[in-house]
Structure 1
């Protein structure tokens, strides 16, 4: 039985028929993350208990209470059923992530991009992950390739999980973790490839990414939430910033997923070389 049908059956005496129930939920380890509309929030605990019964592998259910905030990317969730201990192990294509998904961000919708990125990297490269969080990109890249990875993270709690995940995956010889604002702590002229997995105002970080590349240039994968109307404006801005740093740029744009109405999660693959 599908999740929405299961909820409708289980909650038929609790939730009015006209209230729209969620069609699914996101699973991180043993934790279910559910988005409820405003009408459903009053029934959150009932939805949570039903969700635990729907999937017996789950130990906790949390509902989203607001948007992810700030450069530290702090999610807003509230546990409504099951255990309040939401630290878990999430395994993705052989890579193990220890994290607390209600305290640090982890998007299941980006799984394909994370795995795909590990296939784009070439042996011998130095890769800098400027927004590493718990290592979502950095560990996939290091697990599949003979590379050196520098993983930068500003959120102290995410950084703590990042360091532990490097150890859990036995990648200490490939991945170095750095705590701090990537605009301040980034190395200079070392990277062949840079991952910028941050969606908001990402272009303000681009000059720092360019300074991190080796002097002859390299490739930057810049994520950004972009509306259809502003796509060309973003491309023009990227081209201008690269030119100001003495680089010629070749830009390809890929869509990862819908982000919100009229806005897409895009990746700008920026290959730069000296003029």
Structure 2
């Protein structure tokens, strides 16, 4: 790379935000895995990016005059195995390491076994490569198959101090939601908004309507909240219970294996709706929220309908209940598919 090359851009962030900012930059599609992260003064780091980020908060964007490349890359390892340039072009450009499992989407990638071996060589901490092939049904059950390494896909994944036990062949886990999981802990700790505005004293009361294995339940409980968690998938529910114990928050998590609409909750300070079709459950969420409580509503929204569709759905649900609502935050979490964004809207219910 030459001095001033656009490929040598870096986004400067505070050190405590480096992990979350990296995930946000990955979700935005601008993080550059080819270069190393560099210190930028005593309290910040420079994260390599391919272009200036549009959705991630950074202190500044700088040009690195002496960028430092990482070591061996996946294309290098595939070339050593005799892959042609055309075959390497068809190899995945991104993947995630979740505990001891490399999770990768193959699409039309050739020579799957060789790709899996190369990924295991690249990530010495991993034991298994699992090809992700989508999620099915209301219970959000993943499809996947092992293409290299240990056939076991059960693991323990740790992020921001929260430990998640799971089997990636049985339950879903979205690496791109990492920053949002961290944010939900921060709102409970009072380090991010919106704050709750209820008169009740004591720990915040949270209703997690689609708890899964504890994606949001666990970090929020670890931050001090009391969480009522509903999960309809029996396998995910089993891991939810196990993970509450694993993180020593079992006394702050009340879990139900049930459709969230069948769990009676009222006066919740926060209602978390971490499901793309959460709008179908908005009437129940509004009913569960305390006056001054906050809904955190997830949706997969076409670019052309940002932010009218998700906000309109929330306002309509509040209107049906005869309650007011104020939109306090709108966030893009990650790209869901071509032209569609996974978003979160924070809405305060009167």
Q: TM-score, normalised by structure 1?
A: 0.91
> In the alignment, which residue of structure 1 is the partner of 2:145?
78
What is the number of residues matched between the two proteins? 264
**Ranges in structure 2 where 5+ consecutive residues have no aligned partner:** 1-70, 191-201
For 2:261 and 2:77, the matched residues in 1 are separated by 46
User: Are 2:213 and 1:213 aligned?
Assistant: no
Max Rg structure: 2
2:343 pairs, out of 255, 266, 272, with 266
> In the alignment, which residue of structure 2 is the partner of 1:126?
205
User: Are 2:64 and 1:64 aligned?
Assistant: no
Cα-Cα RMSD: 1.5
Sort the Cα spacing of 1:95 and 1:172 in 2 relative to 1 into closer, same or farther, 3 A: same
> How far has the Cα of 1:18 moved from its partner?
1.0
For 2:211 and 2:72, the matched residues in 1 are separated by 35
> In the alignment, which residue of structure 2 is the partner of 1:32?
102
1:148/1:174 contact within 8 Å kept = yes
For 1:241 and 1:2, the matched residues in 2 are separated by 52
For 2:348 and 2:325, the matched residues in 1 are separated by 6
**Ranges in structure 1 where 5+ consecutive residues have no aligned partner:** none
> How far has the Cα of 1:217 moved from its partner?
4.5
User: Are 2:131 and 1:54 aligned?
Assistant: no
> In the alignment, which residue of structure 2 is the partner of 1:160?
238
Alignment of 1:176-195 (within 5 A): 176-184=254-262, 186-195=263-272
1:10/1:50 contact within 8 Å kept = no
2:145/2:169 contact within 8 Å kept = yes
> How far has the Cα of 1:81 moved from its partner?
0.7
For 2:221 and 2:265, the matched residues in 1 are separated by 21
For 1:25 and 1:74, the matched residues in 2 are separated by 19
Q: TM-score, normalised by structure 2?
A: 0.72
For 1:259 and 1:89, the matched residues in 2 are separated by 25
> How far has the Cα of 1:87 moved from its partner?
0.6
User: Are 2:222 and 1:143 aligned?
Assistant: yes
1:227 pairs, out of 302, 305, 318, with 302
- Report the 3-state secondary structure (helix = DSSP H, G, I; strand = E; otherwise coil) of the residue aligned with 2:250: coil
User: Are 2:82 and 1:6 aligned?
Assistant: no
